[in-house]
Structure 1
């Protein structure tokens, strides 16, 4: 039941990845059919993050109000409406509104899915199943890239509904989070749900008491608000958590994901082949990176990751510089592909997962909620800034501008 419940929940993670990955394979079809400029498409690509910010801000209250399963249902329905809106759009405003709705949906899922998994999973499986959440996100993006090669952007939008439908059906067959039931005082339902996820022949009395004791301890701690995060005692945790999220977005990962096809086409590489290679490598290395984290340590992996990201971005700049000056034309596509391998490899082992892990570890129990919310908000704001500005920066810089003009 733990594995099945996790599978149903990570359908939301798969949906997250497919929403983020959609804008890359759909870009040229949407721009051609709806006559959108690069600036207009930048708005479409980045408005997902505006919706996600709203979803992330409200996700905690929604998950506490209607339970974890209720929050996943609401998020799935919002995403379905968003995808349907995108698929029937004939103008930019309706298209952007659909994208905004899918952002709201995945903003809620980005919170409730890992929380649900953590609350139903026994301690010996918690780390492994938490990694499955990240793995399904990158798998969802790969799915969008691969399927986007085979079908139009309207049909691709309809495929985004599939994981939502699987989740909606699966939610009827999995238990509610035992921890949430205990939190609201439904002790009888709490025991039934805990027995359901542990098996009918397992003695759950010890774990039941541990959960009740941890909730009692949390209730005894002083309640804090967002302003309390900035006092002298807590500001160090905030600096670390927020700082890591700023750097995670500043390396440009979401610009690469949202507009992978544009980047590859500008570098003279097949956008379909490049995007699929990019997403496939990310899936493999996300799984591999999870095995390194506890062995190598957080800080060493972060430092190695940053050096690799610098090298990957230097290779990107070099490939565009060579192209605009018509130097070594045969080397430009090779540099672009090598850059993909270097960049995503080093991102996946360090700067991608480690800031989230550190964020979950550094905050004391009584400020974990507001601290996590602030860090998540900063992450989504950074994602919006990068995803909105990337194409505009490409048209502004001499190398990027020349590449776009050569395409036209």
Structure 2
């Protein structure tokens, strides 16, 4: 029997109505407390102190991204120094392999990392990543031939793939819902800072010394994460209830006791996590988790359409030169004709990336995706054209403004961080339905890294084809503009869109400019008709309803 029906037999109707309202408020507060099991709570404790455990855990878990940034940018300082090393006599093709092979290992290492983090835990997988990391840096530091160097880069790439995924998953599972975006942004900030470090060290140190020192940045994060608890969600999935409660107690150490509840916030969250895990197990038992079902889901418009769109978007991202400025930055600054120290210019470039990664958190939360990417593409094209023009004039001795190409490339990095660099990576989690999101995320990332490998590997060959850096820069400008037109034509908007709305879009549409808006409007109207209007009930309204129900119940009890 519902509460109102039960209260019909109460002598004091108004008192019971107030009790109903109070119980409803408590239920709403409880729902707010456990609104998101995977990202823990959005509880009302607003003091900064309540966030300290989460900030500490997130800062230490994401720290491994520091060595990831060092690994990615290492080729920028390595290749110029290898040309002067007597042990190496490398061709352009061999140099491109040293730069690019690290990203070729990511599509292999990332799925292995996904399996391991579900088997042994998020933090244990990050610790495990230190083993190939140390092997890789040691091989590089002691390398006297190309095979040793390439093998070291392979181990570094595998370690990066192994350690980054579990760290991001850990952040999403321990972060409060309203803090999730800010805490996840720590990872790219650490990566950018790692790039700044390697550029600065390459300025004053030999490449072997930099490699030996990189072992420190590999080991220290693995030691520090021993002082933070494992993900409660993973512990619950393994049936380790007591350990999960200890983890939740640590994370909620400074949270106040929920009002009118005997249980602590950690206990409430544990119950919610257990309930969510149980639902997941029941869903898997009912629907199955086989590869055949996943393939069938990919054959639907909600599967193959976003995958094709994302692969195209990653193509424009990679061939717009974004990662070329990362892997070949020192060499690039030498070739544009600037008199500025190329290592100093690279440090400035890395610092800009680091600052913009922080600004980007606000931009993604505030602005729509499509305008950001289109603005980014046009801005990148303008900056590359300016750089190409002044590079040409400097080489022809028509100008002595050697600082302008450096400034143009710096602005190119800033405009890339507005949209085309980062948004495609975030959209892999937005465009796909939940049933295939994990597999689709891995698959789209694999395509992205394969395209990155091709772009980096073919850098020297394409530069020869375009007869020098000027032609190459104009090519990057053309790709950047083309990327903006591509987004205008096919990419749907996801900012503040519900996942259900995104799925419905792909069922009825392929091109954004030619979308069937009538279908979308009809869907919205139908949904609006089916959703009852919410009205704010006062105590008098509830009392009136109670009296009506009481009258109805009395009529049913009368003899006929």
Give the TM bin, normalised by the shorter chain: over 0.9
Structure 1 gap ranges (5+): 404-408
From 233, 249, 252, the counterpart of 1:195: 249
Shift of 1:159: 2.0
Q: Residues 90-109 of structure 1: matches in 2 within 5 Å?
A: 90-109=144-163
State the partner residue of 1:287: 358
Which segment is superposed worse, 65-74 or 214-223? 214-223
- Aligned match for 1:313, one of 375, 384, 392: 384
Q: Which residues of structure 2 form unaligned runs of 5+?
A: 1-52, 257-264, 473-560
Equivalence for 1:299: 370
| 1:289–1:348 CA contact under 8 A, matched in 2 | yes
Q: Deviations over 1:77-106 (max 9, x none)?
A: 211110011000011110110011000000
Change (3 A) 1:366 1:209: farther
Q: Which residue of 1 aligns with 2:425?
A: 356
Contact 2:302 2:432 in 1 (8 A): no
Cα offset for 1:191?
Answer: 1.7
Alignment partners' CA distance in 1, 2:315 and 2:77: 27
Distance in 2 between residues matched to 1:92 and 1:373, nearest whole Å: 31
- How many angstroms apart in 2 are the aligned matches of 1:402 and 1:188? 63
In the alignment, the residues of structure 2 paired with residue 399 and residue 253 of structure 1 have an alpha-carbon distance, to the nearest angstrom, of 18
Alignment of 1:1-400 (within 5 A): 1-33=53-85, 34-199=88-253, 203-219=265-281, 220=283, 222=287, 223=289, 225=291, 227=295, 228-269=297-338, 270-323=341-394, 326-331=396-401, 333-400=402-469
Give a deviation string over 1:276-297, Cα, whole Å, max 9, x none.
1211111111211221221122
Task: Report which stretch shifted further, 163-172 or 89-98.
Answer: 163-172
Q: Secondary structure at the match of 1:188?
A: helix
Q: Quote how far apart the aligned CAs of 1:298 are.
A: 1.5
String of CA shifts for 1:315-341, please: whole Å, max 9, x gaps.
Answer: 3332443355x152424x333212212
Helix, strand or coil at the partner of 2:192: helix
For 2:471 and 2:365, locate their aligned partners in 1 and report how far apart those are by CA, in whole Å. 45
* Worse-superposed segment, 350-359 or 71-80: 350-359
Aligned-CA RMSD value: 2.1
Distance in 1 separating the partners of 2:135 and 2:82:
19
- Judged with a 3 Å threshold, the aligned counterparts in structure 2 of structure 1 residues 200 and 128 are, in CA distance, closer, same or farther, namely closer
CA distance in 1, matches of 2:453, 2:324: 9
Query: Would you say the 8 A contact 1:68–1:177 is kept in 2?
Result: yes
Q: Are the aligned partners of 2:311 and 2:444 in contact in 1 as well (CA < 8 Å)?
A: yes
State the distance in 2 between where 1:191 and 1:75 align: 27
The structure richer in helix per residue is 1
Q: Answer with 234-243 or 334-343: which moved more.
A: 234-243
For 1:375 and 1:163, how far apart are their aligned partners in 2?
A: 29
Q: Provide the rounded CA distance (Å) in 2 between the counterparts of 1:238 and 1:96.
A: 32
Deviation at 1:15? 1.1
Q: Provide, for residues 339-358 of structure 1, a one-character-per-residue CA deviation record: whole Å limited to 9, x for no partner.
A: 21221111112112212222
Evaluate the alpha carbon distance shift between residue 320 and residue 201 of structure 1 in structure 2; reply closer, same or farther with a 3 A threshold: closer
1:70-129 deviation line (CA, Å, top 9, x unaligned): 210111121111001100001111011001100000012231111111111111221110
The CA distance in 2 between the partners of 1:323 and 1:99, in whole Å, is: 36
Stretch moving more, 7-16 or 245-254:
245-254
Distance 2:394 2:156 in 1: 37
Cα distance in structure 1, aligned partners of 2:310 and 2:399: 43
Divergent runs of 4+, >4 A: none
Where 1:398 maps in the other structure, the secondary structure is coil
| Partners of 1:116 and 1:32 in 2: CA distance | 43
Between Structure 1 and Structure 2, whose CA radius of gyration is higher?
2
- Deviation readout 1:39-74 (Å, 9 max, x if unpaired): 211111111112222211322112112211121011
Task: Report if the CA contact (8 A) 2:63-2:187 is conserved.
Answer: no
State whether residues 316 and 339 of structure 1, in contact with CA within 8 Å, keep that contact through their aligned partners in structure 2. Answer: yes
SS in 1 for 2:273: helix
CA positional deviation for 1:272: 1.1
What CA deviation, in whole Å up to 9, does each residue of 1:189-234 have, x standing for no partner?
2222122222176522332233333334444154364633233342
Following the alignment from structure 1 to structure 2, what is the Cα–Cα distance between the partners of residues 6 and 77? Answer: 22
* CA deviation after TM superposition for structure 1 residue 392, in Å: 2.9
Contact 1:320 1:399 in 2 (8 A): no
Residue 217 to residue 362, structure 1, CA distance change in 2 (3 Å): farther
- For the residues of structure 2 that align with 1:394 and 1:307, how far apart are their CA atoms? 22
Question: Does structure 2 retain, via aligned residues, the 8 Å contact 1:363–1:371?
Answer: yes
In the TM superposition, what is the alpha-carbon distance from 1:313 to its structure 2 partner?
2.3
